[in-house]
C-alpha cells in the first residue's frame, strides 16, 4: 500500500481532488485483456450493447461498457502501440491515451479519487 507519488508537482489544486470511496486499485484495471471474435461475443453481448471502439494501425478493438463499468482502466497494446483505454461511469466519458513517454511504457490504474466527478488515474 501507500502512494509513492511525488505530489510536489501538480497541475490542479489538491482541493479539487476528492475521495470517490474505493482505495487505489479498488476498481482494478485490466492489464493485457483477452479478446474474442464477434461470433463468440455474440453469445453474451447483445447487438445493441454499447462499446468503446478503437482502431490503430489496422488493429480494431471493441471494449464493452458492461466490462468497463467494473474496471474503468484497460492497459492494452493496439496496433503495436501501448495504450490505456479509460471509461468513467460517473460522467459517461471515454478517452484513449498512448502510454509510452520518452520510450518508457507506463501502466495506469484507478486512484480511487475524483476530480469534477471524473476518475483520477495513477501511473
Query: For residue range 5-26, what is the model confidence (pLDDT) as tens digits?
Result: 666 777 888 888 888 888 888 8
Dihedral of the alpha carbons of 67, 90, 25, 84, in degrees to the nearest 10: 60
pTM of the model: 0.87
Query: Could you tell me whether strands 109-115 and 118-122 are parallel, antiparallel, or unpaired per DSSP bridges?
Result: antiparallel
- Cross-strand partners of 85: 74, 96
CB 53 within 8 Å of CB 41 = no
Query: For residue range 11-65, what is the model confidence (pLDDT) as tens digits?
Result: 888 888 888 888 888 889 999 899 888 888 888 888 899 999 999 999 999 999 9
Distance CA 69, CA 60 (A): 21
Q: Using CA of residue 30, residue 28, residue 121, residue 116, what is the dihedral sign?
A: positive
Amino acid at each position: 500500500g501507500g502512494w509513492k507519488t511525488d505530489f510536489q508537482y501538480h497541475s490542479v489544486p489538491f482541493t479539487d481532488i476528492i475521495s470517490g470511496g474505493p482505495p487505489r486499485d479498488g476498481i482494478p484495471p485490466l492489464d493485457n485483456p483477452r479478446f474474442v471474435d464477434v461470433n463468440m461475443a455474440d453469445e453474451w453481448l447483445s447487438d445493441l450493447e454499447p462499446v468503446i471502439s478503437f482502431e490503430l494501425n489496422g488493429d480494431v478493438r471493441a471494449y464493452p461498457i458492461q466490462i468497463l463499468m467494473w474496471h474503468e482502466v484497460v492497459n492494452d497494446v493496439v496496433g503495436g502501440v501501448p495504450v490505456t483505454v479509460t471509461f468513467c461511469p460517473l460522467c459517461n466519458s471515454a478517452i484513449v491515451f498512448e502510454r509510452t513517454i520518452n520510450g518508457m511504457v507506463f501502466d495506469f490504474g484507478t486512484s480511487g479519487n475524483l476530480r469534477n466527478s471524473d476518475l483520477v488515474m495513477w501511473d
